[in-house]
Amino acid sequence: GAVVSQHPSRVICKSGTSVKIECRSLDFQATTMFWYRQFPKKSLMLMATSNEGSKATYEQGVEKDKFLINHASLTLSTLTVTSAHPEDSSFYICSAQGQGSNTGELFFGEGSRLTVL
Amino acid sequence: LAKTTQPISMDSYEGQEVNITCSHNNIATNDYITWYQQFPSQGPRFIIQGYKTKVTNEVASLFIPADRKSSTLSLPRVSLSDTAVYYCLVGGFSGNTPLVFGKGTRLSVIA
């Protein structure tokens, strides 16, 4: 099946620094990718929809200047957490839907755990 | 986006069949029903997908009644490794439509 890969899987950073998380579709092209975040024992919360070649669409309450999303190619989307603070510590997960898919099945990355000290 | 409702948690002994029902009263004509499994610190993994009636694959069965307002994921003979959170989602057709996760069902399999 289709594979979505995230990097890094874990990252620890100091408060105030920026962290970039990459999401790649390894064997298919993804015009649209989605970014979720998940707190412990909670469900996934949609943050934004990343569209190749255009601006991302953010969900209500998600700061677009804090969570920068870039989808420069059909196989790569990046999420940059700018000026990270401890409350940004979370599990970030990306997903993608392959081209030509009409059933809504999403392929998810392995997730990236961010810890801000 | 159709909202889904599932039991918060379920317990089962190894070897038993587990059925998890999801309600989605506002499902749209174009929506598919998809179930995902998530282990701690991992991304969700696709289990099964269906539109109507019954779908079966090597790991599960999905039962969908004619009105499609609910669906039931059936896991035959669960093992300890099936302990996970199971999410029911509805959506589809448009590649630009994100899937919104509900709270999911936390299944605990006991030896």
Residues of chain B found within 8 Å of residue A44, distances taken between Cβ atoms: 44, 87, 101
CA distances to A1, A29, B15, B18 from A113, rounded to whole Å, are 24, 25, 33, 31
Quick check: A99 pLDDT over 90? no
Per-residue pLDDT at A116: 97
* Contact across the interface for A113 and B41, Cβ inside 8 Å: yes
pLDDT digits (tens, 9 = 90+) for B80-90: 999 999 999 98
CB atoms within 10 A of CB A68: 16
- Residues whose CB falls within 8 Å of the CB of residue A36, separated by 6 or more in sequence, listed in order: A44, A45, A46, A47, A92, A93, A94, A95, B101
Helices (H), A38-99: none
- Rounded to the nearest angstrom, the minimum Cα separation between A66 and chain B is 21
Least confident of A104-113, B52-61, B75-84: A104-113
Residue of B nearest to A59 (CA): B98
What's chain B's average pLDDT?
92
Distance, CA of B84 to chain centre: 12
Q: How many CB pairs under 8 A join A and B?
A: 71
Quick check: B101 pLDDT over 80? yes
Per-residue pLDDT at B96: 61
**Whether B37 contacts B106, CB under 8 Å:** no
CA atoms within 13 A of residue A116's CA, in its CB half-sphere: 17
* Contact across the interface for B44 and A32, Cβ inside 8 Å: no
* Reported confidence tier of residue A36, pLDDT bands at 50, 70, 90: very high
pLDDT digits (tens, 9 = 90+) for A57-75: 999 999 999 999 998 888 9
One-letter amino acid identity for A47?
M
